[in-house]
Amino acid sequence: MKISIFSKAFAMAVSVMLLTGVVHAQQWPSKPIKMVVPFAPGGGADITARVYADALQKILGQSIVVENKAGAGGAIGANSVASSSPDGYTFLYTTPGQQMTLPFLVKKLGYDPDALIPVSQVSLAPSVLVVNSQLGIKNIDQFISYAKSRPGKLSFVSAGIGSSSHLNGELLKNLAKIDVEHIPYKGTGEALRDLVGGMGDFSIDTVGIYTAYIKDGRLTPLGVTTPFAVDILPNVHPLNKTISGFDASPVNYITAPRGTPDDIVRRMSAALNQAAKESHVKSTLAAQGIVAVANTPEEMKTIVEKERRRWKGVIEEAGIQAQ
């Protein structure tokens, strides 16, 4: 008899908890939503996050507060969201580092990468292989021949160990089978300065970083990292036409703390998909060389898993040690 009474009480408690969760999800959003950007203001991630935040405010009818929490390659911001209450009011603007590469580059992240669940992709940032124009190289075939005839002589600059520009260069080394030197810097600005100044020979980073220098002739574009041509560089062919398998454009997406109600995750995903189709969002990002893209939580999870495997292999092949 006591067991029966306990069972009924337990069942009632569970029912109340489930009902509370359903009501909470139905009322969402009832207050401002925080979107954490794990980088400083003014960068590509911050700009894209704010473009989406403006669109989401109109779609969801609530303020979207963008909060910058920079440091440790994005790990500080990721940690803050991973440890947040999974109530649907805190999301992370996520770049490849937080789930796809940092787990293999940093021994003590401070958070579990799987404590962040994918909601939707928001952008694809096509990158481009550029060389200092003083080299006189005009296309990717010339570049590969030049590099192979001078093993260890060419150098590529990056924003730092483990950055996308570093890993892109390592991927190029692997697939093109060339021997080149890596020169890491403390940020994109320093790397760009020396590349334009002739202290480095080439680099692979997002298109928007190099556009002005391509236009003034100081840098020569040899190929984009997407399987398709990009509008901002219509005459530059994809690298994978020459280098089979080369596809390396940073994917940016939104994640939520593990445990966030599925209904809220899907409603936020639907809102992001709607925002990605808005002409203002598309045109504003296109001007930065960024493509607005959205998908489902399941599709984004598949991309995360695929990219993890790929970059883990690149990091191990390059012998990059976790710090």
Compute the distance between CA of residue 201 and CA of residue 181 in angstroms, rounded to an integer: 10
Same-domain pairing of 131 and 237? yes
C-alpha Rg value of the chain to the nearest Å: 22
Q: Tell me whether residue 73 is in a domain.
A: yes
Per-residue model confidence as pLDDT tens digits over 114-129? 999 999 999 999 999 9
Predicted pLDDT of residue 113: 97
More confident residue, 151 or 287: 151
Residue 250 clears pLDDT 70, i.e. is over it = yes
Q: In this structure, are 257 and 301 located in the same domain?
A: yes
213 falls within a domain:
yes
Q: Which runs of consecutive H residues, i.e. helices, occur in the chain?
A: 2-27, 44-60, 75-82, 96, 102-105, 140-149, 164-176, 188-196, 207-215, 262-276, 279-286, 297-318
- What does the pLDDT average to over 129-150? 97
Query: Does some domain include residue 12?
Result: no
Instruction: Write out the residue range of the structural domain in which residue 192 sits.
Output: 127-241
**Which of 220, 241, 262 lies at the terminal end of a domain, its last residue?**
241
Q: In this structure, are 231 and 261 located in the same domain?
A: no
Which pLDDT belongs to residue 192? 94
| Domain-embedded: residue 275 | yes
Last residue of a domain, one of 186, 214, 241: 241
- Predicted confidence at residue 194, as pLDDT, reads 95
Given 241, 270, 299, the domain boundary residue is 241
Give the ranges where 61-163 is alpha helix by DSSP (H).
Answer: 75-82, 96, 102-105, 140-149
Whether residues 257 and 294 fall in one domain: yes
Overall average pLDDT of the 178-197 stretch: 94
What is the distance, to the nearest Å, from the Cα of residue 83 to the centroid of all Cα atoms in its chain?
20
Are 104 and 142 part of one and the same domain? no
Task: Please state the pTM of the whole predicted model.
Answer: 0.86
Count of domains in the chain? 2
